[in-house]
Amino acid sequence: MIKMEKINKIYNQGKSSQVHALKDVDFNVNAWDMVAISGPSGSGKSTLLHILAGIDRQTDGSYLFDGKDISKMSDRQKSRLRNREIGIVMQDFGLLDGETVIRNVCLPQIIGNTYNREVKAGAKEMLSLVGMEKYLDKKVNQLSGGQKQRVAIARALNMNAKVIIADEPTGALDSENTESLMRLLQKLNETGITMIIVTPVSYTHLRAHETDSYLVCRLLLEKKKKQKKKDMLGQVKEQDHRRE
């Protein structure tokens, strides 16, 4: 389903602020996989997810989604893909704060002009699946972080997404809610939705032995594997400095 080969992402190429965020990353995901991505802050996890979802484009390397080259698609084709096949749960939620929960869940259809009663009924069903049925008419800015994440997941589900790409969906949750959200994602995965999730290392260790389909993908370069976050960030600064 997803085939990435030698993906490189360089931000601000040629400038003093240049960052080589992804270096020769190979990443393959089959339909029905549940894949965890972990690595320290700044290792390129969000960058990889943005490329996967077609929000950003790789500097070089090849990326095929269902055999199609996303980097060659028009913006319109890409947004169709995002509104139909790939559900994204962003680190900053990607919700409209001043809008209600139910309208946020239906946003892809409202934008795509396919919003109707059926879509709304589906949205309610998905919101009850994530335990948010009592909040339909609440404004998103009145919700907690964990509740917002649930709304974002309900939106991805209501689009019938084939793949859900979630950037630290449990980031704003306490350990009990993290467990229950991860169980929910796992259940959804068992229904055939491919899951690609950025999770903290500790959690992936917990699950790694439980199921074969649960992979741990480390984005760090071999050399950087044993470095602490602090050292790595220091190194990035040093690299930038040298280029100046």
Ligand X SMILES: Nc1ncnc2c1ncn2[C@@H]1O[C@H](COP(=O)(O)OP(=O)(O)OP(=O)(O)O)[C@@H](O)[C@H]1O
Report if residue 86 touches ligand X, rule: CB under 6 A: no
Distance CA 150, CA 146 (A): 6
**Per-residue contact flags (x/-) with ligand X for residues 19 to 58, judged by CB under 6 A:** x-x-----------------x-xxxxxxx-----------
Which residues, including other chains, have CB under 8 Å from residue 217's CB and lie 6 or more apart?
27, 35, 36, 37, 38
Distance CA 221, CA 71 (A): 24
Report if residue 70 touches ligand X, rule: CB under 6 A: no
**Per-residue contact flags (x/-) with ligand X for residues 183 to 222, judged by CB under 6 A:** ----------------------------------------
**Length of the chain (residues):** 244
26 vs 92, which CB is nearer to Mg ion?
A: 92
The region, left, alpha or beta by phi > 0 then psi within -120 to 50, assigned to residue 14 is: left
Report if residue 62 touches ligand X, rule: CB under 6 A: no
Report if residue 236 touches ligand X, rule: CB under 6 A: yes
CB atoms within 10 A of CB 64: 15
DSSP sequence for 131-183: T-GGGTTSBGGGS-HHHHHHHHHHHHHHTT-SEEEEESTTTTS-HHHHHHHHH
Report if residue 46 touches Mg ion, rule: CB under 5 A: yes
43 vs 189, which CB is nearer to ligand X?
A: 43
Least CB distance to Mg ion at residue 155 (A): 20
Query: Edge-to-edge, what's the strand order for the sheet holding 68-69?
Result: 19-29, 2-11, 60-65, 68-69
Least CB distance to Mg ion at residue 49 (A): 8
3-state secondary structure of 113: coil
Report if residue 12 touches ligand X, rule: CB under 6 A: yes
Give the DSSP H/E element, type plus range, for residue 94.
none
Report if residue 11 touches ligand X, rule: CB under 6 A: yes
54 vs 169, which CB is nearer to Mg ion?
A: 169
Least CB distance to ligand X at residue 226 (A): 17
The CB-nearest residue to Mg ion is 46
- Which spans of this chain sit near ligand X (rule: CB under 6 A)? 11-12, 19, 21, 39, 41-47, 236
- Which spans of this chain sit near Mg ion (rule: CB under 5 A)? 45-46
